[in-house]
Amino acid sequence: MLDKFDQQIPVSDGTTIPVRVHRPSGEGPYPMIVYYHGGAFLEGYGSIDTHDNITRSLAAQTQSVVISVGYRVAPSYTFPIAIEDSYEALLWVVEHAEELNGDPARIAVAGDSAGGNIATVVAAMARDRKGPELKAQVLLYPVTTFQEVSFPSREIYDSGYYLLSRQVMYLAREKYTPDESMWSSPYTSPLHAADLSNLPPALIITAEFDPLRDEGEAYAERLAEFGVTVEALRYKGVMHGFISFYEVMYRGRHGLDETSSFLRRAFYDKLEAQPYRLQVIDPPMGMAYVRDLIEAYAFAAYLLGKQMSTILNR
């Protein structure tokens, strides 16, 4: 059983931001996961509500307190507001661990897409600002660079048929980082950071049909070069955001299970350092693959339709 509640938490400029907490019922204290939702850093593209299914399931599967952070987004709030909100939320979680029934010695950050960028940036901020210490970082199809880098996946899968288009990527960059000088910051483009040492162990999941695939995998390789323990999984035959469809999609469920397994091992010091390799997860065979594909794209179309309806009715 899980408890669920929303509340507002203070940030340093005097305002508040929302968080949603999913918490196992029982004695605890439980490990804690601070989750940053995807959504292109833009208003109307993602929220703690759109990612509630993922955070709820992670709490249940890992027996952890999951705190989903409603960081402020563009165009009203540009870099570095989102990451400062997100780091301050992490500090708030540590400070309030006891009332959350959480263990401040077992904390991980996680996020998807834009939230994957924020999760790894917050991990770097925690290192640079001397805490808190993190057990792990989970990056699901993350944005890792705002710079103009030629990646094959950006060229091949940029149409938007795979849930993420180049147009949206450029819009996110224009609104979140309006000054070109921001693109070279290690807190926007961690792929190009000069120092990636002393970061927590990472799970990086990418999707075959995703413009962000190559930059996520390049970041996994760079982390490994700096001695960070990295597990990298590429799921074949799926598009950006596929884990959000875990209720109807086999590989979404598989990706969520792998995420939960990694976090459980990290929390209980059972991760093993191994030479870096990218593990490719093949799709199911036969009719299972066809059903998976149809259900995923039908659900994606439904979500896109809801998103467009929200935008048009503002």
Catalytic residue annotation: 113, 210, 240
How many Å is the Cα radius of gyration of the chain?
A: 18
**Six-digit token string for 242:** 């596929």
Query: What amino acid is encoded at 280 in this protein?
Result: V
Q: 114-128 and 81-95 helices cross at what angle (nearest 10)?
A: 60
Backbone angles phi, psi at 310, to 5 degrees: -65, -45
Helix (H, G, I), strand (E, B) or coil at 179: coil
203 phi and psi, to 5 degrees? Answer: -110, 125
22 contact partners, CB below 8 Å, separation of at least 6? 2, 3, 4, 55, 56, 58, 59, 60, 65, 66, 68
Give the residues across from 159 on adjacent strands.
Answer: 165
